[in-house]
Structure 1
Amino acid sequence: MHLDFFPSRTLTLYLAKLFVVRIFAVLVMLVLVLMMLDLLSTSGEILSVEGNGQGELWTYVSLRVPQLVMRFLPYSVLLATIISLVTLNQNSEVIAMKAAGLSAHQVLAPLLLTALVVSAVTFVFNERVVTRATATLKAWEATEYGAVPPDADTRANVYITDGTNILTARTVSGSGDAMQLGQVTWYARAPGGTISEQIRAPSARYLGPGWELQDAQKFEVGTASTSELATVVVGEGLSPAQIELESIDPDTEPFWELSSAIEAYEAVGRRTDELRAKWWHKLAGPLSAFLMPLLGAVAAFGLARSGQLFVRAVIGMALGFAYFVVDNAALAMGSFGGYPPFLAAWAPFFLFLLVGETVLIRTEE
């Protein structure tokens, strides 16, 4: 069935193919450049660990590339929009389409449809690939690029209090009674709030109650003395369920599992603004790709001979980058309660959707 909103089938496929090729080309270029710069800054740390070599560098690349793809795919869609529309304008193809009776929205329809498909693929890619890669990479970074964590269920950097005492762990793996902590530090506080002793251990396991620290080293603050302990039990008031709550990272949790984590937080009366803002943003974030053709559309119209094509391209790029700035600022405000979580995630999207439509209608329609 032919829809008037779209041009002919041939023209729709032509524009969509043109757009997809440029998105892929720009994305590959950005990821390659940024990955090389990232390796220049981190390869020294990775190779400084005894036993690490080229294999570990490739492991780092395999974990870092999905993050770069997810972060810079919307930028790639924006740049691909500018490049595609400027090329069409310079070759008078936009003029030919408008002379054939197509409106500005019909010219953009294939690009918007392609961007919507990219948004859907981005959402699936983030929830199935990026979250797992991020969890593994954070856990590996927590061990200072030592042994690579065996699975993506390993969490990093937990800080939890037991009364006035504090337990920290660089890594947390497993769940329930089988939970294991790595690089554990226990801070025991005196009644006045000062730290009286510090116990460090490479690992800890749950005894129920309490956590058994093995091969521990104890430092007494009052006497400034150090002693070796084969085993010691600390944190009898801490359960694996409490530590699981503290180790929740929205960047490493899939959309459907983050919902359960938010419910668990609310069940114990914990603040959930940050988690809810990130939960909503898992939907709003991928849709940013859908906005890019609309924000960059100003580059498609106007006579190339007028000398304003470059200015129009700059305006389109400025609108796109302004969206990312506002989106990050709103998400930060929502994380600490300045905005309601729903508003923090969705307000930038709808604001720039209206801005893009306004600019397009007032200038071209």
Structure 2
Amino acid sequence: MELRFFPSRTLALYLGKTFLWRSLAVLAALVVILQTLDLLGESGDVLAAPGNGQAALWHYVALRLPQIVQRFLPFSVLLGTLITFVTLNQNSEVIAMKAGGISAHQILAPLVLVSLGLAGLSFAFNERIVTRATATLTAWQDVDYNPLPAARHGSTDAWVRDGDDIIHAATATTDRGRVSLGRVTLYDRDGGTLKRIVVAPTAREHWEAGRFAGWTAPAARMFNVASGGVTSVARFDFGAGVRPDQFTLADVSADDRSLGVLGGQIDELRAAGRPVGPLETGWWHKLSGPLSAILMPLLAGVAAFGLARSGALFLRAVIGMALGFAYFVADNFAVAMGNLGAYAPLLAAWAPFLLFLVIGETVLIRTEE
């Protein structure tokens, strides 16, 4: 038996090209179907915003499409592997290859190599396109598909605590290095008892002698809980102990940040004493997630072997599909546990991958090698 992983260049190209085109065909079919269903469910909300028409629908498709491709690429690789192996088995091509001294690992090697390339492309696609599309789509959905502000860098729906007081900002945007807050509400409390509520349309950073001194609202209205009266003030200062980054980092999400940007924000949040477990899980999963494509040929490889005429080919295909979908269930469960803090971030991101790598290799060795 040959000891090389690619004993035949022609055979490796044939298997790799067959697997690649069938995986891409499955991905295209899934994307068309799922994008159509998603658009049917969301088009009413998009068109409900004043001024939105056909162009807005195409804009939504352009933003949603990268997310669908990212999520279903591993499924496409799994189904592409099963289709490839079932076809090869039915045509007795696998029997011919094994009769020529090619082992099961050598049959799988071209597919794993192609999957590695797909994993690399998936990682680059996620970093350069998916994160930006997700950030833009999330911002658009936050304003109910109305036009976005010209400059929008920051967060929305930010809640910050300042001692007993609680501050809510509907928006926190950064312009030229300075943070501005929109639709600010301050809940002034004393010992847990609400004293007054201050509402201001905007607020900005206040600096004195080159040092940050809090926030200033040019105009505000104050509701006194005890008296029930409402007064207006021309200027209201608050939040001397609330840093600007506490607003801009209030809703950091791993989905709309690239690996480098997310790592820097995790460091900032950790330095500020904020919990970063879910974000660290997301950071590690940005590496382990694309690599799931490498597992699919190994998990679905059971469908390649055995005699087609024995009637067990369908059962083998079902087993391969079950192993693949079991991985996705385990991966989603582990990430959820990591977000809840029940699993360490590194364990939550990598444990399912390593576990199913061992399972797939064990099944392959015990059944075929």
Under a length normalisation based on structure 1, what TM-score does the superposition of the two structures give?
0.91
Map of 2:17 onto structure 1: 17
Which residue identity is paired with 1:187? L
Q: Say which SS state the counterpart of residue 295 (structure 1) adopts.
A: helix
Unaligned ranges ≥5, structure 2: 208-212
Map of 1:358 onto structure 2: 362
Q: Write out aligned runs for 1:141-290 (5 A).
A: 141-148=141-148, 150=150, 153-174=153-174, 177-182=177-182, 184-200=183-199, 203-208=202-207, 209-213=213-217, 221-222=225-226, 232-290=236-294
Map of 1:304 onto structure 2: 308
**Preserved CA contact (<8 Å) 2:154 2:249:** no
Q: Deviations over 1:104-149 (max 9, x none)?
A: 0111111000001111111111111111111111111111211135
| More deviation, 67-76/268-277 | 268-277
Q: Say which SS state the counterpart of residue 179 (structure 1) adopts.
A: strand
For 2:328 and 2:149, how far apart are their aligned partners in 1?
Answer: 33
For 1:276 and 1:186, how far apart are their aligned partners in 2?
Answer: 31
Shift of 1:27: 1.1
Describe the shift of the 1:41–1:107 C-alpha distance in structure 2 as closer, same or farther (beyond 3 A).
same
**Preserved CA contact (<8 Å) 2:63 2:137:** yes
- How many residue pairs get aligned? The number is 363
Shift of 1:332: 1.6
Which residue identity is paired with 1:274? P
Unaligned ranges ≥5, structure 1: none
Q: Deviations over 1:290-326 (max 9, x none)?
A: 1001000011111111111111111111101111111
Identical amino acids, percent of aligned pairs: 53
Shift of 1:232: 4.5
**Preserved CA contact (<8 Å) 2:189 2:195:** yes
Shift of 1:351: 0.3
Out of 320, 330, 340, which is 1:316 matched to?
A: 320
**Preserved CA contact (<8 Å) 1:135 1:154:** no
Which residue identity is paired with 2:26? V
Which residue identity is paired with 2:122? T
**Preserved CA contact (<8 Å) 2:184 2:202:** no
Q: Say which SS state the counterpart of residue 273 (structure 2) adopts.
A: coil
Residue 329 of structure 2 corresponds to residue 330 of structure 1: no
**Preserved CA contact (<8 Å) 1:169 1:185:** yes
Describe the shift of the 1:175–1:148 C-alpha distance in structure 2 as closer, same or farther (beyond 3 A).
closer
Describe the shift of the 1:86–1:240 C-alpha distance in structure 2 as closer, same or farther (beyond 3 A).
same
For 1:362 and 1:127, how far apart are their aligned partners in 2?
Answer: 38
Shift of 1:83: 1.0
Under a length normalisation based on structure 2, what TM-score does the superposition of the two structures give?
0.90
Shift of 1:181: 3.3
Describe the shift of the 1:302–1:231 C-alpha distance in structure 2 as closer, same or farther (beyond 3 A).
farther
Q: Deviations over 1:210-230 (max 9, x none)?
A: 444567666555566667777
Shift of 1:89: 0.9
Map of 2:135 onto structure 1: 135
**Preserved CA contact (<8 Å) 2:303 2:317:** yes
**Preserved CA contact (<8 Å) 1:178 1:206:** yes
For 1:79 and 1:151, how far apart are their aligned partners in 2?
Answer: 42
Q: Say which SS state the counterpart of residue 207 (structure 1) adopts.
A: strand
**Preserved CA contact (<8 Å) 1:165 1:186:** no
